[in-house]
Structure 1
Amino acid sequence: MTELTWRRGFKTEANRIALRAREKMGLTPICPIDPLQVCERFDIRLLKLSEIDPKSSFLRSESTKFSAVTVPCGLHTAIVHNDSHHPHRQRSNICHELAHCFLGHKCTPPLTPHGERAHDGSVEAEANYLGGALLLTNEGAWHVMYRQLLAEAQHVYGISEAMLNYRLRISGAYTRYRRAGAY
C-alpha cells in the first residue's frame, strides 16, 4: 500500500481549521468537540438516515454500509448520517463530512448514474485527516500522552480506539512523548 503524499502544509492547515472550529465554539484546543453542536453553530442541517425516505438513493445498497454524505439543501448544506452506527462512528462520520464543508469540497452525488459509489481518493483522504483532527487536535493528542490519559481518552473524546491510535501517531504525540523520555 502506498503512503499518501499530502499537499504542502495540509496537515498544519487541517489542525488550524480544527482549532478555529473549537475557538468559534468557545472551546480550548484540548477540549472534546460535539459534532452536533458544530453543525448547529455553522448552520449545517444534520439529518438521520433513519428519517430519510426508504426509497431514497442513499439506500440502494445495504444501509449498514452507508456512513454519511454532504448534500445541498436549498440555500444550506445538510449532512445525512447513518444513526444506526456506533456513536463513536457517527461522530467520526459527521466530522468527516464537516471536513468536506470546511475544506470547501464541492458536494457531489454519492452514486454515479450507474449506481456505483462516486469516490475521489485525495478529497476523501483530506476529509479523513481533518475529520480526525476535528475529533482530536494535535494539542489534544499531546495532552492525552503527557497527562497519561490513554485509558479514558476514547470516552472523553468520543472516538474509537483506532481513531485514537491514528491521531496519537499522525499528530506526532507518540514520538514526542518517547523523545521526551516520558515513557
Structure 2
Amino acid sequence: MREVVIEEREALGLGPTDPFDPYALADTHGIPVYGLGDLLAHGVSPEAFGHFTMGDTAAWSAALLPLGTARVIVENESHSRARRRSNIAHELGHLLLEHPFDNVILGEDHKRQFDEKQEKEATFMAGELLIPLTAAERMAFDGWDNARVAAAYGVSTQFAQMQMKGQRLRAERAARKYGFGKASFGKSATGSPN
C-alpha cells in the first residue's frame, strides 16, 4: 500500500515530506468532489441536507460513489477543513485499492455496515497520503508535537497523533538507547520537515 501512495504522491510532484492535497489527487483521477449542498438541485431533500449538516453531523462524512464506470465523491461540507481532507483521502484510499462497491449493506438499524478490513486499509492509505511514514519519522526524531504536525499537514491534532504515535515510540527508544534528542520531544514550533 505504501508503494501505491509513493507513486500517487510522486505523480503529483510531491516529495516524501511535502504536504498533500487530496482534492488535487481526486482531480488527477478525474473524480469530481461535491458537497452535499451541491446535490440539493439534484434530488437531495432539504431535510436530509439539514440532518447531515446541522443535525447529526457525525452520522456521515463522505462517500465514493459509482456512476456507471465513473466515480464521484460526495462530502459533508459541515465538517472542518482538516476533517474533510482526511475524509477525501480515505475515500481515495478505497479508489486506489480498487475496493468493490458491493460490500456496503444496510443493517437493521438502517445504518451502513462496512467491510472492516477495507475500512482499515482505506484509513491506512489516508494516513500515508496525508502524513507519509518518511515525514512522520523525521518529525518524530525532531520532536514535533501534534499541533505542529497538524498545522504543517492540514490535519486535525487527533489525526496527527494517529500517524505519529508509532514513530514517536521509535524515536524515544532510539533517544534512550543512543542518548540523543530526548530533550526536544514534545516542543511546539511551526514549519515543515525538510
Distance 1:144 1:16 in 2: 21
Mapping for residues 55-74 of structure 1, pairs under 5 Å: 55-56=43-44, 59=48, 62-63=51-52, 64=57, 65-74=59-68
The 5 A counterparts of 1:81-160 are 81-108=75-102, 112=106, 115-150=110-145, 151-160=147-156
Structure 1: which 5+ residue stretches go unaligned? 1-12
By percentage of residues, which structure has more helix? 2
2:14 is the alignment partner of 1:18: no
In the alignment, what sits opposite 1:75?
A: 69
Matched to 2:153, the amino acid is: Y
Quote the Cα distance in structure 2 between the aligned partners of 1:83 and 1:173. 32
> What is the deviation of 1:109?
8.1
Report the Cα distance in structure 1 between the residues aligned to 2:29 and 2:143, rounded to whole angstroms: 33
**Which letter does structure 2 place at the counterpart of 1:16?**
E
Unaligned 5+ segments in structure 2 are 176-180, 183-194
C-alpha spacing 1:39/1:23, structure 2 compared with 1 (3 Å)? same
TM-score, normalised via structure 2 length: 0.77
What CA deviation, in whole Å up to 9, does each residue of 1:107-156 have, x standing for no partner?
24866397431322111111112111111111111121223332421111
What residue identity is the alignment partner of 1:17? V
Percent of pairs with identical residues: 29
Aligned residues: 168
Structure 1 residues 177 and 119 mapped into 2: Cα distance closer, same or farther (>3 Å)?
same
CA distance in 2, matches of 1:87, 1:106: 27
Larger Cα-atom Rg: 2
Q: Is residue 79–residue 97 contact of structure 1 (8 Å, CA) maintained in 2?
A: yes
Task: State the one-letter code of the partner of 2:23.
Answer: L
RMSD value, Cα: 2.5
